[in-house]
């Protein structure tokens, strides 16, 4: 069993003013039910996924809920949206009620929450396992923040948290091995079960993909014919780590451009992909305005593509961006994420925007980086509307080194794993 960063925040939020109504969303099989039961084992658990029992709970009035279930975990609530209205009424009638709403289809759950529970509900998202979480083996294991999170929390004021000699630290070998496992199989909790074989892991990922199509896409789109979506999903997976041209995407998938936009949005709302929006706030520069798409989980992406071999550079970039995204979201840091591309094809893979500036990141599938790998980061500050705090080149190179003034090369597993001295 892996510990989760979100565990303590859920417990803390449950004691706050908005804690009487807590909404937890995330990808199917990310561990929402397991986590909420660990945090609140004394609260009754109700799943409305079963159509045989769903009508019973859907017919209950607010008074019934207050009388019979003043506290409850209600799972798969997107299957019975009317329950949200009843829960709202129970919340308003009685100060002793406490409900946890769980769901994997963001579009149905969060739209209903925004309409009905605005100002009442606390909302949290559970992502697949991050590298520090992968290193745990029980709920009691402490999770240290990664060097990246420590550094970002310190406002990138000093490089101290990032520097060191990876080869001299025993823990680095462990995290590098965990990161390689993540690149192959992703971060879903099941694939990190040590008792599974690799064949078991691939079989589970294939089953997950089929279940996702049969359940989540049905919730999101109410499509009777899933074939156009399946084709579009595979085409989108081939474009992971690339700029998305919706006309080209639509042509390749045999769908209309408007449908391509809609299908990509479905993937985003069901926690399958992250759209990295382009940075183009500097009106004096000719900056491209098309998004990049990254799959949240490399194991799922590789299953869609039916690939088990070496990653391409774009697939590696997508996996690294996804891990950065998950860790930052788990940390509660207030940031925005962009990519940057000029019309003359100069690119920065990832921009992390903090309140006082940007971190520019280049991601290389290479075991030996050089100063040439930092070329796209040199002079990038003239394209931005805030100061450039640091340029980073992340790769499989095992050394930390300065490539140029203000540009640091780091092993990606070093950057994304905890410092042992803290």
pLDDT at 146: 97
Mean pLDDT by 10 residues, the chain (422 residues): 93 82 90 95 92 91 95 89 90 92 76 75 92 96 96 94 91 95 97 96 94 77 77 94 92 92 90 91 69 96 92 96 97 94 84 96 96 92 93 97 95 95 44
Q: How many residues does the chain have?
A: 422
| CB burial of residue 38 (10 Å; 0-12, 13-18, 19+) | middle
Q: Are residues 17 and 119 in the same domain?
A: yes
pLDDT at 421: 46
Query: CA-to-CA distance for 167 and 398, rounded, in angstroms?
Result: 7
The range of the structural domain enclosing residue 48 comes to 6-126
pLDDT at 118: 75
Residue 133 covered by a domain: no
Q: Identify the CATH number of the domain in which residue 48 sits.
A: 3.40.50.300
Q: Are residues 103 and 189 in the same domain?
A: no
Q: Are residues 108 and 184 in the same domain?
A: no
Query: CA-to-CA distance for 264 and 267, rounded, in angstroms?
Result: 5
Other beta carbons within 10 angstroms of residue 272's beta carbon come to 25
Q: Which of 95, 126, 157 is the last residue of a domain?
A: 126
Q: Are residues 41 and 174 in the same domain?
A: no
pLDDT at 285: 65
β-sheet bridge partners, residue 294: 274
Residue 227 covered by a domain: yes
Residue 139 covered by a domain: no
Residue 86 covered by a domain: yes
Query: CA-to-CA distance for 206 and 187, rounded, in angstroms?
Result: 15
Q: Are residues 27 and 97 in the same domain?
A: yes
Closest C-alpha to 54, from 33, 81, 32, 27: 81
301 in Cβ contact with 212 (< 8 Å): no
Q: Are residues 312 and 176 in the same domain?
A: yes
Q: Are residues 179 and 30 in the same domain?
A: no
Q: Are residues 76 and 168 in the same domain?
A: no
Query: CA-to-CA distance for 60 and 53, rounded, in angstroms?
Result: 12
229 in Cβ contact with 217 (< 8 Å): yes
Residue 132 covered by a domain: no
Query: CA-to-CA distance for 81 and 352, rounded, in angstroms?
Result: 36
pLDDT at 420: 78
Return the percent helix, strand and coil in the chain, to nearest 5. 45, 20, 35
pLDDT at 345: 73
| Helix axes 257-269 and 106-116, enclosed angle (nearest 10) | 80
Q: Are residues 226 and 104 in the same domain?
A: no
Query: CA-to-CA distance for 329 and 132, rounded, in angstroms?
Result: 14
Other beta carbons within 10 angstroms of residue 247's beta carbon come to 9
Query: CA-to-CA distance for 266 and 270, rounded, in angstroms?
Result: 6
Query: CA-to-CA distance for 364 and 397, rounded, in angstroms?
Result: 9
321 in Cβ contact with 339 (< 8 Å): no
Query: CA-to-CA distance for 368 and 396, rounded, in angstroms?
Result: 7
Q: Are residues 267 and 367 in the same domain?
A: yes
Query: CA-to-CA distance for 69 and 200, rounded, in angstroms?
Result: 39
Q: How many domains does the chain have?
A: 2
- pTM of the model as a whole: 0.94
List Cβ neighbours of 49 (8 Å cut-off, separation of 6 or more). Answer: 75, 76, 79
167 in Cβ contact with 397 (< 8 Å): no
Q: Are residues 89 and 202 in the same domain?
A: no
Q: Are residues 41 and 85 in the same domain?
A: yes
Residue 134 covered by a domain: no
β-sheet bridge partners, residue 4: none
Closest C-alpha to 292, from 271, 269, 264: 264
Residue 282 covered by a domain: yes
Encoding tokens for residue 33?
A: 């039910």
Residue 421 covered by a domain: no
* 18: DSSP letter: T
């Amino acid at each position: 069993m892996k510990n989760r960063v979100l565990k303590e925040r859920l417990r803390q939020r449950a004691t706050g003013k908005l804690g009487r109504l807590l909404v937890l969303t995330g990808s199917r099989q990310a561990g929402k039910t397991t986590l909420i039961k660990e945090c609140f084992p004394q609260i009754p658990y109700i799943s409305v996924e079963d159509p045989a029992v769903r009508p019973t709970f859907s017919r209950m009035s607010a008074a019934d809920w207050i009388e019979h279930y003043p506290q409850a975990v209600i799972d798969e609530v997107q299957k019975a949206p009317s329950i949200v209205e009843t829960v709202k009424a129970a919340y308003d009638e009685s100060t002793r009620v406490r409900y946890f709403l769980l769901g994997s289809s963001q579009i149905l759950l969060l739209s209903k929450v925004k309409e009905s529970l605005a100002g009442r509900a606390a909302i949290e998202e559970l992502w697949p396992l991050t590298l520090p979480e992968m290193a745990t083996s029980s709920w009691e294991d402490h999770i240290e923040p990664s060097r990246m999170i420590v550094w970002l929390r310190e406002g990138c004021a000093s490089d101290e948290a990032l520097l060191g000699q990876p080869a001299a630290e025993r823990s680095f070998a462990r995290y590098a091995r965990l990161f390689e496992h993540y690149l192959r199989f992703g971060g879903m909790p099941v694939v990190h079960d040590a008792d599974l074989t690799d064949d078991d892991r691939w079989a589970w990922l294939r089953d997950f993909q089929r279940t996702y199509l049969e359940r989540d896409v049905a919730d999101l789109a109410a499509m009777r014919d899933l074939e156009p979506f399946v084709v579009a999903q595979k085409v989108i997976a081939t474009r992971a780590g690339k700029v998305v041209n919706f006309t080209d995407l639509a042509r390749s998938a045999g769908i209309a451009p408007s449908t391509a936009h809609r299908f990509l949005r479905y993937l985003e709302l069901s926690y399958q992909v992250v759209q990295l929006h382009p940075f183009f706030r500097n009106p004096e520069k000719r900056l491209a305005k098309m998004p990049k798409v990254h799959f949240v989980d490399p194991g799922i992406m590789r299953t869609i593509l039916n690939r088990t071999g070496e990653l391409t550079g774009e697939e590696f970039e997508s996996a690294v961006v996804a891990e950065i995204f998950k860790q930052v979201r788990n940390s509660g840091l207030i940031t925005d994420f962009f990519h940057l591309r000029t019309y003359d094809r100069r690119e920065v893979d990832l921009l992390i925007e903090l309140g006082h500036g940007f971190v520019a990141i280049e991601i290389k599938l290479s075991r030996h980086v050089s100063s040439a790998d930092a070329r796209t980061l040199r002079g990038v500050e003239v394209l931005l509307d805030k100061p450039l705090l640091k340029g980073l080149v992340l790769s499989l190179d095992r050394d930390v080194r300065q490539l140029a003034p203000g540009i640091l090369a780091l092993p990606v597993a070093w950057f994304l794993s905890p410092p042992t001295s803290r």
